[in-house]
């Protein structure tokens, strides 16, 4: 572990898992009111809960594996993919895979309509599948811009 990295950062991936679990549980709690009104939505909410819980934690588990087995010197390594660390590249690949799966689900498998039919995941409960698609595209564009900057030389000079 790098000398200048606080010890708690080495296990920060556990916090990311906890936040993802908390978000899934919050969705489950919010969904109860909707399920009482429309019991036929129960299976969809169950699938959404498990999807968030399992797929949402995949990158954090990949990150944690790299940190815990010593393949990555510290958390700051994950913002330096240009170093070519295979654990970091695997983490980025897992995120990229989820982005692609998200596009497929939202655009080709009517995931945006599913989210409209199963409110509670987003604040304000958007009423338009187009709005969900635009939001998703903007979120992925932001992630890609961040990745481009992380891959650029001298993006984070203090993390060397």
Decide if 92 is inside a domain: yes
Decide if 16 is inside a domain: yes
Torsion of CA 59, 142, 71, 80, to 10 degrees: 180
Query: Within 13 A of 121's CA, how many CA atoms are on the CB side?
Result: 21
Length of the chain, in residues? 160
Q: What is the pLDDT along the chain (160 residues), one digit of tens a residue?
A: 444 678 778 899 999 999 999 999 999 999 999 999 999 999 999 999 999 999 999 999 999 999 999 999 899 899 889 899 999 999 999 999 999 999 999 999 999 999 999 998 888 888 999 999 999 999 999 999 999 888 887 655 555 5
Decide if 79 is inside a domain: yes
Counting DSSP H helices and E strands in the chain, the numbers are 7, 0
Decide if 1 is inside a domain: no
Decide if 131 is inside a domain: yes
Digit-coded pLDDT (tens) for 37-56: 999 999 999 999 999 999 99
Decide if 2 is inside a domain: no
Q: What domain range includes position 51?
A: 7-159
Decide if 142 is inside a domain: yes
Decide if 46 is inside a domain: yes
């Amino acid at each position: 572990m790098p000398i200048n990295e606080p010890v708690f950062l080495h296990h920060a991936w556990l916090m990311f898992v906890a936040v993802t679990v908390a978000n899934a549980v919050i969705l489950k709690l919010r969904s109860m009111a909707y399920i009482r009104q429309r019991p036929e939505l129960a299976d969809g909410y169950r699938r959404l809960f498990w999807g968030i819980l399992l797929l949402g934690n995949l990158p954090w588990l990949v990150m944690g594996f790299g940190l815990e087995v010593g393949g990555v010197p510290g958390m700051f390594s994950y913002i330096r993919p240009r170093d070519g660390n295979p654990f970091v590249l695997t983490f980025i690949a897992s995120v990229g895979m989820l982005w692609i799966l998200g596009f497929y689900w939202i655009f080709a498998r009517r995931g945006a309509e599913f989210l409209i039919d199963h409110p509670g995941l987003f604040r304000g409960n958007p009423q338009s599948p187009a709005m969900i698609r635009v939001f998703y595209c903007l979120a992925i564009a932001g992630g890609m811009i961040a990745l481009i900057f992380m891959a650029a030389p001298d993006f984070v000079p203090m993390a060397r």
